[in-house]
Amino acid sequence: MPSVSKKQKHLMDAVAHGWKMPGGKGPSRKVAKEFTRADKARQRKDKLNKWAHGDAKSNVGEYKT
pLDDT by residue, tens only, the chain of 65 residues? 788 999 999 999 999 999 998 888 899 999 999 999 998 888 888 888 887 777 655 555 565 55
- Give the pLDDT confidence score for residue 16 in this predicted structure: 94
DSSP state letters, the chain? ---SSHHHHHHHHHHHTT---GGG-S--HHHHHHHHHHHHHHHHHHHHHHHHTT-S---TT----
- Give the pLDDT confidence score for residue 52 in this predicted structure: 79
Beta carbons within 10 angstroms of residue 33's beta carbon: 16
- Give the pLDDT confidence score for residue 59 in this predicted structure: 57
Q: Are 44 and 8 in contact (CB under 8 A)?
A: no
Rounded CA gap, 11 and 31, in Å? 11
- Give the pLDDT confidence score for residue 55 in this predicted structure: 62
